[in-house]
């Protein structure tokens, strides 16, 4: 049993009960709803997160400790399937916004269905240059 599944089972055990590989949610009036997809869906939305050297260099160079920790927490949430505040900036690149400090951004691309590559990071002031660099790195990754 994976750790996400174990946490989900523990959190839901007070409300749900197992009825032969189906999970039953009791409702008022003696009714119930059977769900048999819950834990399969948890696993299908987990991502493998890879980091480019440019991203690692940017992250290790951050001086703002709160921002550095916010980036680590965000990567953890992304790997668990919670992408949060993400929007496309074109060319197969998406921007993850972190509402801390000077408006940090992480630029990423999706590979296959379960892999996210963190290309580069920056803040609002360097946004245009960061997007150009992310597009260049994404093109390089396509040819490798």
Q: What is the CATH number of the domain that holds 92?
A: 3.30.2310.20
Summarize pLDDT for 83-139 with one digit per residue, the tens: 888 999 998 899 999 988 888 999 999 887 667 888 889 988 899 999 999 999 988
d(CA 92, CA 111): 10
Higher pLDDT, 28 or 11: 28
In a domain? residue 22: yes
Q: Are residues 63 and 133 in the same domain?
A: yes
In a domain? residue 55: yes
The confidence score (pLDDT) of residue 79 equals 87
Q: Are residues 18 and 78 in the same domain?
A: no
Q: Are residues 86 and 130 in the same domain?
A: yes
Summarize pLDDT for 20-71 with one digit per residue, the tens: 445 555 555 666 555 444 444 444 567 888 888 899 999 999 999 999 999 9
pLDDT above 50: residue 11: no
The confidence score (pLDDT) of residue 117 equals 84
Beta strands in 38-127 (DSSP E): 48-51, 86-90, 93-98, 104-111, 115-122
Domains held by the chain: number: 2
The confidence score (pLDDT) of residue 30 equals 63
The confidence score (pLDDT) of residue 89 equals 92
In a domain? residue 41: no
Strands 17-18 and 23-26: antiparallel
In a domain? residue 42: no
In a domain? residue 19: yes
Higher pLDDT, 143 or 35: 143
The confidence score (pLDDT) of residue 28 equals 59
The two three-digit tokens of residue 106, written as one number: 């992480």
Q: Are residues 26 and 63 in the same domain?
A: no
Q: Are residues 20 and 79 in the same domain?
A: no
Residues comprising the chain, all counted: 144
Q: Are residues 121 and 90 in the same domain?
A: yes
Q: Are residues 93 and 116 in the same domain?
A: yes
The confidence score (pLDDT) of residue 80 equals 85
Residue 25's domain comprises 4-36
Cα angle 132, 130, 125; round to 5: 130
């Amino acid at each position: 049993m994976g750790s996400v599944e174990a946490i989900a089972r523990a959190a839901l055990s007070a409300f749900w009960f197992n009825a032969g590989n189906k999970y039953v949610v009791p409702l008022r009036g003696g009714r119930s709803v059977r769900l048999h997809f819950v834990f399969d869906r948890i696993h299908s939305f987990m991502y493998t997160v890879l980091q480019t050297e440019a991203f690692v260099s940017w992250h290790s160079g951050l001086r703002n400790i709160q921002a550095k920790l916010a980036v680590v927490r965000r990567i953890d949430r992304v790997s668990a399937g919670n992408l949060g505040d993400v929007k496309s900036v074109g060319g197969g690149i998406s921007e993850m916004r972190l509402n801390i400090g000077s408006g940090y951004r992480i630029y990423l691309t999706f590979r296959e269905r379960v892999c996210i590559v963190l290309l580069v990071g920056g803040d609002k002031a360097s946004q245009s240059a960061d997007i150009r660099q992310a597009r260049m790195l994404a093109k390089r990754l396509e040819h490798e």
